[in-house]
Structure 1
Amino acid sequence: MVSSLKIKVEEREGKSFLRDAYVTQPFRITPVGQYKSDGAAYLMITSTSPGILSGDVYEIDVTIEKNARLQLQSQSYQRLFNMEGSASQTMVVNMGKSSSFSYVPHPVVPHEDSNFKSVNTITIADDCELTISEIITCGRKHYGETFQYAHFQNLLEVYHHDRLILKDNVLLKPELMPLHSLGLLEGFTHQGTLTYLNTKNENVTELVEHFYKELENLTDVTYGISEIQTDGFVIRILGNGGEQMFNFFKKVEESLWEKAVAISN
């Protein structure tokens, strides 16, 4: 089943708002920032489906107009059910000048024999900020389905002035890849990646140092944070629980979001 979600967020007199929305089953879009006072738009993607099924094609299109700010949220863990075939998701994000977009979704749980590919393409204009993350679990560990999925891939590409400035490709195929080995998951069961970048010419060295100290407070994980060629950084965490990673990424998101609000004010 092909399912679509299209939203456009605009800004007027310092307030960002949902200008247009179009959804098909099982998608819903819900405003969740009624009590926020920073002028940004807060929207949650919800679904009437318990998860992604074989043959599902999810198409998400997000437009953030000039000066608008959007924090997109997920409803819950994303389950990828047993599949005879495969499923896919594409997310296309277009960011206008001086806009901000942040998306830190819940972890993905691939069930046995699931086959899933996600492609995220983001076009970012000048004077923008972007935060996006992903957490992939080993599957239903307590059901004995550790690394029993067939294929998982998440591709992120970010373009600025028609030039590719960031590409991150996570590809996991347990049957063909020694996931427990050095250079892959190294004995851990969960992997998380958070990417931040800006086109404001704002140096991120102090942010990298700050979040590295925050990472030191995590237990039973291994981690790294790297400054990228553009003004940004990537955090990667290997661990054994999705909730710990998700809570940390939400903390990073909140810190970056509050920083942007403080600067704009």
Structure 2
Amino acid sequence: MISKVHIETHEKNGVTKLKSAFFTTPFKVVDIREDKKNTLLELILMSASPGILDEDELYFDYLLHKNSKLELTSQSFQRLFTMKKRAIQTTNVTLKENASLFYLPQPCVPHKASNFKSTNHIYLEKNTTLIWGEILTCGRKIKNEIFEFTNYQNITKVYKENKLILFENLYLNPTESNPMHLGQFEGYTHQLSLIFLNDSSNIDTLKTKIYNYLETKDCLFGASETPTNGIIVKILHFKAEKLMQWMKALTNIIKDDRF
């Protein structure tokens, strides 16, 4: 199945509104903002499908016009089912001047023998804010499927004014190398990656706040500054729910510092 989602936002009188939304089966875009006067638009991406199947192709396109602010979440865990070939996902994001995107989807769960490649292209203009979170699990632990997928790859490229400023390539092939070895998941089974980019934030102060928060948690983590004004946080743990909780908490810390 080939599925497409297009979301476009704009700002009017200080409030972000949904300018247009287009989606095909099995997706649906729903506005979950309770206070319509809230400047931040909150959308959830819903799906009638139980997950991603063999040879599925998913295309997402998000365009945020000047001054608009969007928080985008997903309905449920993204399950990658057993495949004979491969499924792909391509996401294109454009943030116009002074736009903000908080992307906080549910975790990805690759089932046994799944093969999946995801590519994210993110284009930022001046004075934009990006929070890009992704959680990967080892698979269905309850069924003892721990890193039994065939292949998983997630590529993220971020461009600032058409210049590549960040490139991340998460590639896991358990048949070639055990992901739980030293230098990879190091005995853990779940990973959170959180990217934050903003031109004017005090990254040193923010980094201290993040460390102070995570030091009290039972996890392995690290935070690195990006070549531009930003930070990448990596957390390893054993439970997806905990990583979701911490991702939201870190997002709030960043929001409190930034807005």
TM range (shorter): over 0.9
Q: Provide the residue aligned with 2:202 in structure 1.
A: 203
- Give, as a single letter, the amino acid of the residue that structure 2 aligns with 1:217: T
3-state DSSP class of the match of 1:182? coil
Q: Deviations over 1:224-258 (max 9, x none)?
A: 11111111111111111111111100111123234
Q: How does 1:10-29 map to 2 (within 5 A)?
A: 10-29=10-29
Cα distance in 1, alignment partners of residues 256 and 61 from structure 2: 26
Cα RMSD for the two superposed structures? 1.1
Cα distance in 1, alignment partners of residues 4 and 40 from structure 2: 24
Q: Deviations over 1:40-99 (max 9, x none)?
A: 111100000010000110000000000000110111111001111110111100000000
Q: Provide the residue aligned with 1:88 in structure 2.
A: 88
3-state DSSP class of the match of 1:134? strand
Cα distance in 2, alignment partners of residues 13 and 117 from structure 1: 40
Cα distance in 1, alignment partners of residues 254 and 124 from structure 2: 17
Q: Deviations over 1:124-175 (max 9, x none)?
A: 0001100001111110111121111001111111001211001111111111
Q: Provide the residue aligned with 2:228 in structure 1.
A: 230
- Give, as a single letter, the amino acid of the residue that structure 1 aligns with 2:11: E
Q: Provide the residue aligned with 2:140 in structure 1.
A: 140
Cα distance in 2, alignment partners of residues 25 and 172 from structure 1: 29
Q: Name stretches of at least 5 consecutive residues in structure 2 with no aligned partner.
A: none
Whether 1:213 aligns to 2:206 is no
Out of 31-40 and 62-71, give the one that drifted further.
31-40
Task: Name segments (4+ residues, structure 1) moved above 6 Å.
Answer: none
TM-score (norm 1): 0.95
Alignment coverage as a number of residue pairs: 259
**How big is the shift at 1:36?**
6.2
- Give, as a single letter, the amino acid of the residue that structure 1 aligns with 2:203: V
Q: Deviations over 1:22-43 (max 9, x none)?
A: 1100010000112365311111
- Give, as a single letter, the amino acid of the residue that structure 2 aligns with 1:107: P
Q: Matched residues, percent identical?
A: 36
Contact 2:96-2:125 within 8 A present in 1 as well? yes
- Give, as a single letter, the amino acid of the residue that structure 2 aligns with 1:156: T
3-state DSSP class of the match of 1:251? helix
Whether 1:3 aligns to 2:8 is no
Cα distance in 1, alignment partners of residues 36 and 175 from structure 2: 46
Whether 1:249 aligns to 2:247 is yes
Cα distance in 1, alignment partners of residues 36 and 258 from structure 2: 15
